Structure 1
Amino acid sequence: MHVGAHVSIAGGVDNAIERQTDVGGNCGQIFTASPQVWAGPDIDDEEAARFRDSDLGPWVIHASYLVNLATPKDDLREKSIASLQAECDAASRLGIEYVNVHLGAHTGTGVENGLDNAASAIDELDIPSEVTLLVESDAGSGTKLGDEFAHLAAVRDRSHVDIEFCLDTAHAFAAGYDLSSPEAVEETVAAFDDTVGLDELRCLHLNDSKHACGTNKDEHAHIGEGSIGDAGMHAIINHDTLQGVPFVLETPTEDGRGFAWNIDRVRELRAD
């Protein structure tokens, strides 16, 4: 089983390797820069070489939170494309397979326009051949896109780029896709397969939710201790069609527990 966490690169991107092993992970996710500012990756050749030498993986780079592919605003669109291009180039340097991004928000111009904008923005990227762009499901608040599986499929169908996908369990749950029981997991996995296709699912952000299904509230909880709960998490972790998909945790550090506790919990649920 590939399971890991989103770890810090403070002090150098290669430091993510030790941080991942320290929490018991064997794959993972990073930001290459602060996700709250328009700062691009700043990685020297030695750091990149040390990162590439690791046998952990697969790894995912998560794009900046400022990126908005669905925006109708030209300046924000240009910044978003440039930022995402820099992440794809960094992934190539680091030997990272995936770059993960949210579609963003249409800010009142309508879902269809937002989906068109996102697809055309993706088409402006020059993605290295060894890197795959993943579009992540969203919790869906305001005018954000990606809370419906149909949005993911629509962008894929409108883009000339071979994008694939990341499914976030807390986001899907917040968006109204129930995952709190084995039966609900079966229904949601089937809905994703029917609409998007499990053959294009490359990463699963494994997070419990502090809020109820359908609330559109994106706040993660420890594995098995949120509204998805042990039964839902057990069903997800042991689902036959998800066995080859890496689980990347973005769980909180609180109550004296962090990534190590949550990764151990995932392994316990897998063994049950």
Structure 2
Amino acid sequence: MFRIGAHASVAGGVHNAVEEQLEYGGNCGQIFTHSPRVWQEPAIDNDEAERFRERSAESGVGPWVIHSSYLVNLCTPKEGLRQKSIASMQAEVDAAARLGVPYVNVHLGAHTGAGVEGGLDNAASALAELDVPDGVTVLIESDAGSGTKLGGSFEELAGVLERCELDLDVCLDTAHLFAAGYDLSTPEGVDETFAQFDDVVGIEHLEYVHLNDSKHGCGTNKDEHAHIGEGLIGEEGMTAFINHDAVADVPFVLETPTEDGKSFAWNVERVRELHGA
């Protein structure tokens, strides 16, 4: 089954994310367990978790992915931030296990002077400290590659996977890929991008996709999402990506803006239209 959904709110209880997803017309989705802009433990009790699991199963919504806090920086050379990042990630994977969510998504962060190799070493060793419950997988998300942030190249993603003792997989973000220099605006560019990913990382590591168009050009390192088919990746590129054999069984989740009278529901329907094109 084709899986498309959007980021959903857990306001009022995590189970409400399922109802919101159904309103979007989605059948998979992403959540934050708490505000992503503060250091905070997920506050999900057993009753809430059970309701979430039951509603997800009843409505056929899944797989879900938890997006980790924006404050997490796995590449940092600063010990205090490193320990906070590890503790935050441990809380997220534990919450995922309680909720029956199979994936926790995380950005590698910025090396802030440690250098690329040092940053990748830091990220791999930080992730190796996690005690990840059975049934949960940490996904490393591709980045737009600005400043000292890592994960903008397939080589950097592969570098963490190769260094880390933990079994890791990848979430590709189309807007981030485009901003980092992977041209997804044509069918040929999409083919080449997937061929490079398979050669460097391995297509078997691709478990989820953040599907977003881009307001900025290829290689600009500028991360600003656009409605599907209405950014600089465009309809042709988005259609080629959505229908590519490499992602035939991979779930897509939207992080598109709510503007110009267009919401997640509009974008979910747009993706379904392009998938059938």
State the Cα deviation string for residues 70-122 of structure 1 (Å, max 9, x = none). 00000000000000000000000000000000000000110000000000000
- Provide the aligned length of Structure 1 versus Structure 2: 272
Q: Is 1:111 matched up with 2:116? A: yes
Q: Where in structure 2 are the equivalents of 1:1-272 lying within 5 Å?
A: 1-53=2-54, 54-55=56-57, 56-272=61-277
Give the distance between the partners of 1:194 and 1:221, measured in 2 at CA: 29
TM-score calculated relative to the size of structure 1: 0.99
State the Cα deviation string for residues 116-149 of structure 1 (Å, max 9, x = none). 0000000000000110000000001110000011
Partner of 2:232: helix, strand, or coil?
A: coil
In angstroms, what is the RMSD of aligned CA positions?
Answer: 0.5
Q: Give the partner amino acid of 1:37.
A: V
TM-score calculated relative to the size of structure 2: 0.98
Q: Deviation at 1:222?
A: 0.1
Give the distance between the partners of 1:237 and 1:166, measured in 2 at CA: 15
Give the distance between the partners of 1:22 and 1:269, measured in 2 at CA: 20
Give the distance between the partners of 1:65 and 1:191, measured in 2 at CA: 28
Give structure 2 stretches of 5+ with no counterpart: none
Moved over 4 A (4+): none
